[in-house]
Structures are given as C-alpha cells and as structure tokens.
C-alpha cells in the first residue's frame, strides 16, 4: 500500500492506494474514513483494480478547517486534485452515502470526461431539501442533534449508535471499536457543516452519460432503499443491485458479493 498527501488548494488530503489495473476512486460517507474500505483493500480485487481511497476534507487524516464545506466546487476540486495528482485515467468513482453527494458535486462542476463509470452505494444525491430528508431513515434523523454535540459523552454515544445503525447484523466488538475510532476523529463542527449544506443533484443524475451501478442494502436504515430506486428511474440504463439482509454498508457486510460486482462493473465499462 502506498500513502500520499494530495493538496486541494492549501488543504491536505490523505490518500492511500493498492493494486494495479483500472483505477477505482473510493469516496467514503458522513463522518467516516478511507479505513472503511479495508475489506476491498485486503481482497483479491487488487489483482485487477487499482484501488484509491481518500479521507474527505474534515475526516480521518485530512485537514479539518473550520469553514470550507458548503460549496460544491470545494468538494469537486478535492476529487479532481486526487485524479490529477495520481493520474487516474478512465477511473471508476465509487460514492458511499454522503460520498455519493461528493461524486455528484464533481460531476456538476467538471462533468464526466475521464470517468469510465460511477457506483453509488447507499448514496444521497441531495441534502437540505424536503426530498433529501424523505430519503433518510427516522432512526438516523433522531441522531442529528447528537452529531453536532460538543459534549463528549453525548457525542461518543451518538457515534456508537450511528456505527451500529450502519449495519444490519450486530458488529463484533473489534469491528465496532474500529469503526467508532475513525468516526469520533471527525470534529462536531465538521459534521455540523456537512449537514448544513443545501444541495440537489437530481439534474446531474438524470443527465449522467456514463454507466452507473446502484448498490443498496434492503435493510438500510440510514438512506432508505427507495432512494436508489428513485435514482434508477432517473438514470437511463442504470443497473440496480439490491442486497437482502444488508444495511447501509454492503461493501463491509457482504464484501465477497460487493467486490465481485465492483470488479465486473469496473472491467466491463
């Protein structure tokens, strides 16, 4: 595995890569980290694909400024900076949860030139709108106030509940601690700023001109499965892959199937 520091303007982004072949840029979700892709990085996927995972601005080991989260152009520039710095020609963009919003920020700003395909995984395409809120599970919405709390006990307990909500079956103590660790690294002001955006990418979805794979767990209580079904109606010829008995994290909960489908998608487009 190779680690990089990529600069998006003055902001430093932590990026790691492994494997060789067609590049696949993995963009994590809200309050998460590049570490969520461990079951891809440590799999035979690396024999066929060059996997690149970034810590989004405000997350993991990337810089965490106070105010640099609202504009779509900032998120888009982060993606472009990684693509440019690592020379990712004809890459696949994979956006999980909030990462789907970031991928669509990029598409809105820079289009799809040089992008071979897009995999949206339990993804949101909008935030801060009535439609966006309707696509979120009530248990997730109940956690919103705790996400931005500066009280340590309340914040940690909220993140513990969030980590559990991201999967359908119970996590092992080791996996729970692993996930909780990279979630609590994200400061409350970052989570607050991410939730404070008002963005809609329905037009970008409808206009996508590259192959799209929609991946969603049938038991997702964070982003409801109806969201991806709505995206499938908007996008011409999108493939929809539903995962039974799976929550918000198909790549973690069902890694063998997820990796197989990602390989097939990446190598066929």
Mean pLDDT of successive 10-residue segments in the chain (269 residues)?
97 98 98 98 98 98 96 98 97 98 98 97 97 97 96 96 98 97 96 95 96 98 98 95 98 98 97
> The tokens 């700003």 sit on which residue?
109
88-143 residue pLDDT tens: 999 999 999 999 999 999 999 999 999 999 999 999 999 999 999 999 999 999 99
Rounded Cα distance, 6 and 31, in Å: 20
Rounded Cα distance, 78 and 11, in Å: 9
**Distances in whole angstroms, Cα of residue 265 to Cα of each of 61, 74, 88, 127, 150:** 30, 28, 17, 27, 42
- For the chain, first and last CA: distance in Å? 26
What pLDDT is attached to residue 45?
Answer: 97
What pLDDT is attached to residue 197?
Answer: 95
Average pLDDT, the chain: 97
Q: Which fold has domain 2-268?
A: Rossmann fold (3.40.50)
Contact indicator for 2, 16 with CB cutoff of 8 Å = yes
What pLDDT is attached to residue 73?
Answer: 97
What pLDDT is attached to residue 142?
Answer: 97
What pLDDT is attached to residue 236?
Answer: 92
Q: What is the pTM of this model?
A: 0.97
What pLDDT is attached to residue 145?
Answer: 94
């Amino acid at each position: 595995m190779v680690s990089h520091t990529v600069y998006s303007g003055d902001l430093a982004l932590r990026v790691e890569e492994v494997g060789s072949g067609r590049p696949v840029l993995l963009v994590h979700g809200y309050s998460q980290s590049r570490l969520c892709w461990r079951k891809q990085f440590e799999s035979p996927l690396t024999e066929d694909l060059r996997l690149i995972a970034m810590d989004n601005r405000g997350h993991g080991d990337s810089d965490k400024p106070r105010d640099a989260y609202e504009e779509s152009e900032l998120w888009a520039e982060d993606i472009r900076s990684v693509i440019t710095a690592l020379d990712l020609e004809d890459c696949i963009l994979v956006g999980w949860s909030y990462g789907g919003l970031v991928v669509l920020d990029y598409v809105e700003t820079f289009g799809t030139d040089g992008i071979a395909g897009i995999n949206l995984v339990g993804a949101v395409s909008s935030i801060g709108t009535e439609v966006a809120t309707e696509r979120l599970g009530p248990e997730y919405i109940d956690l919103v106030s705790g996400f931005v709390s500066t009280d340590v006990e309340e914040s940690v307990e909220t993140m513990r509940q969030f980590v559990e909500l991201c999967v359908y079956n119970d996590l092992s103590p080791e996996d729970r601690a692993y996930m909780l660790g990279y979630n609590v690294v994200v400061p409350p002001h970052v989570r607050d700023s991410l939730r404070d955006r008002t963005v809609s990418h329905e037009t970008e979805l409808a206009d996508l001109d590259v192959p799209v794979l929609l991946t969603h767990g049938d038991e997702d209580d964070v982003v409801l499965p109806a969201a991806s079904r709505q995206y499938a109606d908007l996008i011409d010829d999108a493939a929809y892959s539903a995962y039974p008995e799976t929550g918000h994290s198909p790549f973690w909960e069902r890694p063998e199937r997820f990796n197989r489908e990602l390989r097939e998608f990446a190598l066929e487009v």
